[in-house]
Structure 1
Amino acid sequence: MTEIRNYINKFSPVSDSDWELFSSKLKERTFKKKDIIHKAGVVENYISFITSGTVRLFIPKPKSEKEITFGFCFENQFVSAYDSFLLQKPSEHAVQALSNTSMLSISYNDLQEIYNKTAIGNLIGRLTAENLFITKSKRLQSLLDQTAEERYLSIFKERPQLLKEISLKYISSYIGVTPQALSRIRKRIS
């Protein structure tokens, strides 16, 4: 639990009493590689802070090769089917562990209590929302103004470990090309 407290303390010190209430609401959850953390069509009940592991966000399709991967989250980041969490309506996407993953999660109802009873509550909500917004905004920007090759090179530059940890079929879906097109991009680059 020190990971999440250290993360929050970077932005604002947390009083011991606020931390005690907040940490009492956190639930440690672990998932094995390929486990579905959140299913599409279900209301998201958690915001989670990844303490270890890698997670992908995707839109499921009847044929798994047609799934659309639109995001990845890593250690020391928040993850959620956030629109579903906020609206308390079924999500249109799913969340999957790409490696053995551990996270600290807080439920919707518990977070509402934290908002009402602590000074830290609004900070946690803001940090989560900002983190998820920035991730989504960067993704949208890359789709609008970069070629698939530029998106691949950007991933390679910003997160080289991603290329070692994540299946190429998920990376190709993320940058918006077929696995065959990704293979051609990789050949051109090397």
Structure 2
Amino acid sequence: MQELKNLIRSSVGLEEEDLQKILGHFTLKTLQKSQLLLKRGQIASHYYFLNKGALRFFYNDDQELTAWIVQPGEFFAEISSLSPGLPSRFNIEAVVDTELYSIHKNDMDLLYKQIPAWQEFGRKLWEGMAVRMISEIISFQTMTVEERYLAFLQKPGFMQFISVKQLASYLGITPNALSRIRKNLR
């Protein structure tokens, strides 16, 4: 839980009593590799802090597509389900053994009302997530696949978490196309 404490403290100033109150609402959850945290069609009800491991958001229509990858130290939620209370379009899967802390949406909302600094934390957190999402969208629109792959390699730890097939779907290409790109870049 130390990493979660550090993230909160680095984002906002909180009295120790408020920090302990907030942390008291989080529960530890562990997942085995390939275990689902959320299944498509379920309604999300929690926010999460990923302590160890990695998760991927993916969906299956005609083929499996990886839409998002979560690494240690990140706070996340399936916000398109959580906030409006709609069924999720995604599966969220542990790609390795994973440890995370969860807080129920109702508890998060209660803490937002009780602790102004926690509301500021939430605002900063979601602003940062929005910036990351916008950056990813822009990279898909302005960069070549090779450039996106090279940028992906610059993200510490990503390659240890996901398979080549998952990376290819995240980049929007086939595994064969990714193999050719990797071969050409050597």
Q: Same fold (TM over 0.5)?
A: yes
SS at match of 1:25: coil
Q: How does 1:70-149 map onto structure 2 within 5 Å?
A: 70-149=67-146
Q: How does 1:1-190 map onto structure 2 within 5 Å?
A: 1-61=1-61, 66-159=63-156, 161-190=157-186
SS at match of 1:59: strand
Q: Is the 8 A contact 1:18 1:120 kept in 2?
A: no
Q: How many angstroms apart in 2 are the aligned matches of 1:182 and 1:21?
A: 47
Gapped regions of structure 2 (runs ≥ 5):
none
Q: How many angstroms apart in 2 are the aligned matches of 1:133 and 1:99?
A: 26
Q: How many angstroms apart in 2 are the aligned matches of 1:12 and 1:4?
A: 12
Over aligned residue pairs, what C-alpha RMSD do you find?
A: 1.4
Displacement, 1:60? Answer: 2.3
Gapped regions of structure 1 (runs ≥ 5):
none
Q: How many angstroms apart in 1 are the aligned matches of 2:184 and 2:85?
A: 45
Runs of 4+ in 1 over 6 A off after TM superposition: none
Q: How many angstroms apart in 2 are the aligned matches of 1:44 and 1:127?
A: 21
What is the aligned length? Answer: 186
Displacement, 1:119? Answer: 2.2
Q: Percent of aligned pairs with the same residue?
A: 27
Q: What one-letter code is carried by the residue in structure 2 that aligns with 1:21?
A: K
Q: What one-letter code is carried by the residue in structure 1 that aligns with 2:177?
A: A
Displacement, 1:132? Answer: 2.4
SS at match of 2:51: strand
Q: How many angstroms apart in 1 are the aligned matches of 2:170 and 2:142?
A: 15
SS at match of 2:7: helix
Displacement, 1:103? Answer: 0.7
Displacement, 1:174? Answer: 0.6
Displacement, 1:146? Answer: 0.9
Displacement, 1:128? Answer: 3.0
Q: How many angstroms apart in 2 are the aligned matches of 1:80 and 1:95?
A: 10
Q: Is the 8 A contact 1:18 1:119 kept in 2?
A: no
- The TM-score normalised by the length of structure 1 is 0.92
Q: What one-letter code is carried by the residue in structure 1 that aligns with 2:135?
A: K
Q: Per-residue CA shift, 1:76-109, capped at 9, x if unaligned?
A: 1012211211112111112111111111111011
SS at match of 1:70: strand
